[in-house]
Amino acid sequence: MEKYLTINSKKVSFNNEKSLLEVIRNENIELHTFCYHSELSVYGSCRLCLVEVEDRGIISACSVPPEPEMNIKTNTERIIKIRKIIIELLLANHNRECTICAKSESCKLQTLARRLGIKKIRFKNVLQKSSEDASTYALVREPSKCVLCGDCVRFCDEIQGIGALGFANRGPKSLVCVSFNRELNDSECVYCGQCARVCPTGAIMPKYEVNYVWKVLSDSKKKVIVAIAPAVRAAIGELFGLRKYNGDELAGKIVTSLKTLGFAKVFDISFAADMTIVEETNEFLKRIEVNDNIPMFTSCCPAWVRFVEQYYPDFISHLSTCRSPQGMYGSIVRRIMPRVFDIPDRDLVVVSVMPCTAKKYEARRHELAKNGINDIDCVLTTQELAMMIEEAGICFEKLESCAFDMPLGFKTGGGVIFGNSGGVTEAILRNIMNTKFKNLNEVEQFSFVRGERGLRKFKISIGDKELKIAIVYGLNNARKILKSIKAGSKYDFVEVMACPGGCVGGAGQPICTDLIVRKKRTETLYENDKVMNLHKSSDNPYVQKLYKNYIGKPGNLKAHEYLHTNYSYKKRFKEILKISDSLQDDNIKIDVCFGNNCISRESREILSHIVNFVENGKYKDRVNITSHICLERCFNGPNIKVNGKIIERCSLKMVEDAIRDEFDRLKDEC
């Protein structure tokens, strides 16, 4: 049954909308907001979505559900004044070097100031500039541009389940920062960059490497090659107003623009995605055959890999050892292209264009380097590529399409759909059917694995084997799957991508807050797949030729040297935090491990319990407590050290008993 309310004297129906804001936006009235985001919980801090409700006064539209007979005004003189004051107050405490801000064209603060007609700021500038945090390869933080909307904090906590960022202090001293005010590189950040995607200003941005690329392109001794990821072609048109073009046409324009910029060769990461599928299919079938390290997790998302290395090192062996498509591309071209160009390795510059900020981190992993030379020298995001095209004065929308260079420019539909959540799984299932059942002529699309939900589960029978599959995006959903596996749930194959929707929703893509835009990107890649001549990665003739001439068979020793890698536990805490530090030499000394694996096994709760146990008992002033960097026993956590003795898999009772025993021992010695 439809219900009605009134908006600006117009009778409006509503049904399942959760808030007044949704009802109002359905009427094509774009109420201004900073802190409201459809993917996140309601926060209600910015107060820009104020409306006036008859008999109830001024309220926030984002946090109030609609009710029948409400009479709402969205733009009274009083509300407009309040909105202007809010923006002026934000600007009075903001770094207003807007003309040189990387987010100038998409900054919501600038947009709202313009829309509200703010011509001057009546308040004194109280900004206290803080230093820029450029400690990571992936992201840059500029706290002086933060408007305290909390979008980054909530996304990191609610969607990714990490909580690398949080609020500190109160009142005018409030700020968003890393715990203990560390640099981002010393936090639990996995570099997915989704905080930068939802940030309305330039407070968190991808770390741009455009200047480096211009420098090497200008060096006559260097040969610079580049490859673009499939998700890039699905989104770059948004930055040039070309939404009507399909991904294949845009890919051709990208190739033309890259050639114009001076790149010697332009390849397609989708070729390397085909190689990844071939290797990953082979690896999966072998694991299934011997029932070893099942379920197998995909490893093409570097943020997800980092997440496992930090929080779940006991699952590292379950990660596919296959390099990501970017990793395989870098490895292959490093071994082939110096001979093609007849140049030393150091004069070959390998660039990739990716939708993802975590790929910048992946390119610097020591596992993806040889003899001190990184396989990938530089990673540009979709945003950075568009920036270079504009800097060069290229009229992108007027360009004719140009073909990728061969052989690393040829791809199948399996490589193209890699950029979507579920795309890796679908491509592998196609390949399994091709590997195990060669008499099947028709391509099985496996379209049932597609979808918008962040956690999807399926069962599929292939021959006499039933496979249990999970497809996940968002690391909080990944955490749920890992916990369920620990609790006994059975899966054979799990695909994980950190970004919503997969790579198409990466933080290096054009900024979008409308989920319809992301859905169109996904559809673009599936449409490209439909028109491809080949749909199964193992059918790529140039991949077959590469194996024949350079590698041999999938999964052999040379394939492992070129196309596989390894992962290890990554420690993030670089200092000891003293909780209690009494001066007596004969005190009981307790170290609580704060490595990420122990944190995931509730070492923080144990630390809190120890502090309460000591403070409220007879042991006060007789115990020194510290949280330690890592006790190097990650698979047996949580770990606690009491006077030099490590207690593995420690419980609350075990640590209490250890403190009592040590106290009695020291008492007897005295």
- One-letter amino acid of 151: D
Active site residue 309: no
Beta pairing partners, 496: 472
User: Does residue 283 carry a catalytic annotation?
Assistant: yes
Distance, in Å, from the CA atom of 214 to the CA atom of 223, rounded to the nearest integer, reads 13
Q: Residue 87 in contact with residue 121, Cβ under 8 Å?
A: no
Candidate list 367, 602, 648, 656, residue with the active-site label: 367
Q: Are 348 and 334 in contact (CB under 8 A)?
A: yes
Q: Say which amino acid occupies 585.
A: D
Would residue 41 show up in a list of annotated catalytic residues for this protein?
A: no
User: 467, exposed or middle or buried, with CB in 10 Å at 0-12, 13-18, 19+?
Assistant: middle
Task: Please tell me the distance from the alpha carbon of residue 258 to that of residue 447, in angstroms, as a whole number.
Answer: 34
Which residue of the set 503, 593, 634, 650 is catalytic? 503
Token pair belonging to 422: 């579920």
The pair of three-digit structure tokens given for residue 642, joined into one six-digit string: 């009491």
Q: Which residues contact 242 (CB under 8 A, 6 or more apart)?
A: 250, 396, 397
CA distance 319 to 538: 22
Q: Which of 359, 360, 536, 641 is flagged as catalytic?
A: 359
* C-alpha span between 581 and 276 (Å, rounded): 52
Catalytic residue among 238, 279, 280, 384: 280
Catalytic residue status for 280: yes
Contact criterion met (CB below 8 Å) for 100 and 71: no
Number of H helices, E strands in the chain: 22, 24
**Residue keyed to tokens 């492992």:** 560
Distance from chain centroid for Cα 599: 21
Q: Of 283, 309, 384, 495, which residue is the catalytic one?
A: 283
Active-site option among 49, 107, 189, 300 = 300
Exposure of 387 in the CB half-sphere (CA atoms within 13 A) = 21
Q: Which element (helix H / strand E) includes 340?
A: helix 325-341
Options 19, 299, 320, 538, the catalytic residue: 320
Task: Give dist(CA 139, CA 154) in Å, integer.
Answer: 18
Q: Which residues on adjacent β-strands are paired with residue 5?
A: 12
Q: How far apart are CA 381 and CA 357, in angstroms?
A: 7
- Does residue 295 have a cis bond before it (omega within 30 degrees)? yes
Give the pairing of strands 223-228 and 348-354.
parallel
Question: How many of the other CB atoms lie within 10 Å of CB of 209?
Answer: 18
Active site residue 289: no
Active site includes 300? Answer: yes
- Which of 362, 384, 495, 662 is labelled catalytic? 362
Tally of CB atoms within 10 A around 76 = 14
Catalytic (active site) residue 402: no
503 counts as catalytic: yes
Cα end-to-end span (Å), the chain: 80
Side chain identity, residue 666: L
What's the Cα-to-Cα distance from 580 to each of 163, 194, 235, 595, rounded to whole Å?
25, 36, 53, 19
- Residues recognised as catalytic: 280, 283, 300, 320, 359, 362, 367, 503
